[in-house]
Structure 1
Amino acid sequence: MLSSSKFLLPVLPRLFRFTAMSSVTGTYELQDPLNYRGGTRVQPADGNHYEDVYEPATGRVIGKFLCSGEKEVDLAVQSAQTAFKAWSQKSGMERGTILLEAARIIRERREEIAKMETINNGKSLFEALVDIDISWQCIQYYAGLAGSLAGQHIQLPGGSFAYTRREPLGVCVGIGAWNYPFQIACWKSAPALACGNAMVFKPSPFTPISVVLLAEIYTEAGVPKGLFNVVQGGAATGQFLCQHSNVAKVSFTGSVPTGSKIMEMAAKGIKPVTLELGGKSPLIIFSDCVLENAVKGALMANFLTQGEVCCNGTRVFVQREILSAFTKEVVRQTQNIKIGDPLLEDTRMGPLINRPHLEKVLSFIKQAKEQGAEVLCGGEPYVPEDPKLHEGFYVSPCILGNCEDNMTCVKEEIFGPVMSILPFDTEEEALERANSTRFGLAGGVFTKYCHPKKD
């Protein structure tokens, strides 16, 4: 067992109100344990290595955390089991009331939480505020459902009857991604808790901070201590969770290769699994569209959260009649996107999550050029004017023209601000090409035309 590090201090009450830190870019320092068990922040009981925590905007290491080992995972599951016994006996109305209080607290503190999300993730504060609003709305929605969950009464022959009842699974595991850390934690925990389950959550090691704020909020709202626990770590910690005999279900958001491994591990214990994985979604723009709307849609579908969104419409199919006009306008507007300090209100694109990911995105662009694509704008490392941001992980949003379906940039998920434009002629052609990849997460269409109803 490793000893506590000097920069991890005892937790301070309600620290997430920013009473002990600055929200100015380049000033935050991580001070408190990032594991949460039994209703409080704790150091892991075991672990074999530390991970650095970065501020993407500046490239600074803002702290470290110890990855949780098998003993810590077991303690977190035990904590969840104990809390589950009390929580599962509450009525749906009682659970809903507590979840409504959690939603209220998040809504009240949305700005503080959004700032922390921006510091650790890099997305603009403008977007982070929207994420936090969606988070409390999600919890509020499932709070409303909690009291209405019921079974069925079935009349049988001879005057007898049968009935069904819904029972919670037990301890559920949530494994989150780094692009929407707080929001994904809410998406996974709200339905689980509403149905009477407990949860152990493992965030991405790249974004370990904000989920602990959610754990504190749940405790403050009134859930039993230990109902929502947080363990930090990478693949090894995730493996301990998936293989734990007392875990009833696993929910994962992330890459296809990792999702495949999680499904394999969970299968050994016959655990149900929910996976939300990668994408290479098509966006089909017909010549009869409202061009202004189509351009706005393409910009959002490619550059939201620096392009680090699994359902982004990165294959933009444009009908040949408007290809030139669309391309000209989308390039113009892309070049006007303000890149820089994500904590500034007028910034619309912050940094990528870390340097390895920045290099990965740049390598995709380089390969696209080698395969014949044309860089119409962007696609280069970006250095903001502010000196404190010079080591941040920025890239200028990129648009690729002259793309073909067999290019790597069109077939593979880049997970960065890179748009591939592909011309098409007919609806049939567009549909066939849109469905030609192994990804099928999302899709979009811009057109005025609707098929007439058949009699």
Structure 2
Amino acid sequence: MNTRARLYIGGEWTDAADGAEFATSDPATGKPLGTCAEAGQADVDKAVTAARAALRDPAWTSMSPSARARLLWRVADLIEEHEAELAELETRDQGQPLGVAHAVSVTGAAEHFRYFAGWCTKIEGAVSPVSFPDTLHYTRREPVGVCALITPWNFPLMIAAWKLAPALACGNTVILKPAEQTPLTSVRLVELCELAGFPPGVVNLLTGGPAAGRALVAHRGVDKVSFTGSSPVGREIVQQSAGDLKRVTLELGGKAPSIVAADADLDRAVTGNLQGALLNSGQVCAAYTRLFVDRRRADEFTEKLAAAAAGLRLGPGLDPETQIGPLVSLEHLDRVDSYVRTGRDQGADLVTGGHRADRDGYFYAPTVFGGVTDDMTIAREEIFGPVLSVMPYDDPEELAARANDTEYGLAASLWTSDLATAHRLAADIRAGAVFINMLPIPDAAAPWGGFKSSGWGREMGPYAIDAYTEVKGVWVHLGNS
């Protein structure tokens, strides 16, 4: 496989203005997959100009909501028609097992376009009962404008879809900038948008590294930035956007607690936490990483968890027997390993794993630590890899405070058979999503986003309509004077 991807600006595929390119590789082998154009400032300027021009193009601005809905629905159909191709491309470029690429990435991408296609005809204003006499007041929801959509490398196809679909449903124009580690399915998705029939300039694509992202965020012609990625980069985006007060939506890091109550089905909790922690090799912002277990059951839980983790099959995502794929890059592999070494140095009990797998590619053995305390680095910082920390507790009343003792607040998990325990802890935990006896996989119809350093705003569901529209009030005097 040797792909060469170009930029898509104003309805045309083009090389970077200065001819720059970068390589993307297969994390299962470390071998190159292809090259992509490296967008520079001139390309950013050109893309913004095209997107702004499309905001004035009647082919887009006068398009009926039902016609816009048909375009989004057509993209969903095209994603499903090309499911096998997209899933294999996602696996080759990102590393996730092919089953995950099919069931989560491709299926999720299609569902986001289909869900937001339904919203196109339901974006409504309202009449307000103002107190001025002889006055009609009503509201309109209008597009924010040019939206820079900056996506991460862990689920590149699905996250591109969950930004593109609502932005387009609301009538915005967009510039998609995928992570440089995993650009290929985003390129293919934009090709499908072109095939679906979006007018030129409505959907634009810039591939490249952090410099391209920074140029987009800083550009005065961009009205909104939607970013999914790390909290440090999110803070940088806020600072860069302050000059012209861009609208900003951020879905950032996480350090999800998973609470195993004393009454939980232990075997079910072991299986659920293993899957919730190791989906996509732990490269999930909502992955279960701090596992709070009743001290009386902690040893049994840790032993079963470690045995199950050690028995998982590592391998290339294209191998149907693979359960754990590679990490995305050598740089990230080294980062995960450094956290594991820090955990050992600080006194955590390494029960299984803790080393790079002995094979080509960027594989890391699933790792379980026992006896982790709240002050350890592995309990406080986001590792974003296949590393699980079991943290015993004595008093259930301390659980909410310990779960909340983090700068993050994206997701949390509860494992219990007691309805009162489930609802009480769900209310007390400061996180944007709480999953009870299930895995942390979002849905197009439900809000997604975090508290504290896990982000600003919400994506998905009706909340995405708020994120991609501005509300305008219209005042009409009905009197004769």
Q: Does TM-score exceed 0.5, indicating one fold?
A: yes
2:121 aligns to what?
147
Q: Secondary structure of the equivalent of 2:417? A: coil
Q: Aligned with 1:174: secondary structure?
A: strand
Q: Which whole-Å CA distance do the structure 2 matches of 1:288 and 1:365 have between them?
A: 31
Amino acid at match of 2:91: T
Candidates 420, 424, 438, aligned match of 1:451: 420
Q: Residue 405 of structure 1 aligns with which residue?
A: 374
CA drift at 1:292: 2.2
Q: Which runs of 5+ in 1 are unaligned?
A: 1-27, 385-389
Could you tell me which residue of structure 1 aligns to residue 448 of structure 2?
A: none
8 Å contact from structure 2 (residues 27, 94) kept in 1: yes
* Residue 417 (structure 1) aligns with: 386
More off after superposition, 284-293 vs 173-182: 284-293
Write out per-residue CA displacement over residues 36-90 of structure 1, whole angstroms, 9 at most, x where no aligned residue.
123343211136x543211101011223334211110111112222333332322
Give the aligned partner of residue 79 of structure 1: 50
* Paired amino acid for 2:116: Y
Letter in 1 for 2:93: N
Superposition deviation, residue 155 in structure 1? 4.4
RMSD of the TM alignment (CA)? 1.7
- Deviation track 1:306-341 (CA, whole Å, cap 9, x = no partner) reads 111111110000011211221121112112211102
Distance across 2 between alignment mates of 1:111 and 1:40: 26
Q: What is the aligned-residue identity percentage?
A: 38
Task: Say yes or no: does 1:184 pair with 2:159.
Answer: yes
2:11 is aligned, of 33, 39, 60, to 39
Contact 1:382 1:396 in 2 (8 A): yes
Shift of 1:447: 0.9
CA contact (8 A) 1:46 1:70 kept: no
1:293 CA drift (Å): 1.9
> Contact between 1:126 and 1:348, CA under 8 Å: does it hold in 2?
no
SS of alignment partner, residue 436 of structure 1: coil
Q: Quote how far apart the aligned CAs of 1:365 are.
A: 0.7
2: CA distance between counterparts of 1:297 and 1:336?
15
CA distance in structure 2 between the partners assigned to 1:84 and 1:161 by the alignment: 29
8 A contact 1:88–1:168 mirrored in 2:
no
Q: Following TM superposition, by how much is the alpha carbon of 1:169 offset from its aligned partner in structure 2, in angstroms?
A: 1.4
Distance in 2 (CA, whole Å) between partners of 1:245 and 1:191 is 22
The CA distance in 2 between the partners of 1:297 and 1:218, in whole Å, is: 36
Equivalent residue runs for 1:34-433 within 5 Å: 34-46=6-18, 50-85=21-56, 86-130=59-103, 131-156=105-130, 158=133, 160-384=135-359, 390=360, 392-433=361-402
Aligned-residue offset at 1:158:
4.5
Unmatched runs of 5 consecutive residues or more in structure 2: 425-481
How many Å apart are 1:428 and its aligned residue? 1.5
- Contact 2:149/2:227 (CA < 8 Å) preserved in 1? yes
2:427: which partner in 1?
none
Deviation larger for 417-426 or 324-333: 324-333
In 2, the alpha carbon distance for the partners of 1:396 and 1:336 equals 10
Contact 2:5/2:35 (8 A) holds in 1: no
For 1:148, the aligned partner's letter is K
The answer on whether the counterparts of 1:177 and 1:253 sit within 8 Å (CA) in structure 2 is yes
SS at match of 2:182: coil
TM-score (norm 1): 0.89
Aligned partner of 1:90: which letter?
A: M
Tell me how far apart the structure 2 counterparts of residues 44 and 442 of structure 1 sit (CA, whole Å).
39
The structure with more strand, counted as a fraction of residues: 2
Question: Residue 466 of structure 2 aligns with which residue?
Answer: none
Q: Give the letter aligned to residue 159 of structure 2.
A: I
Normalising by structure 2, we get a TM-score of 0.84
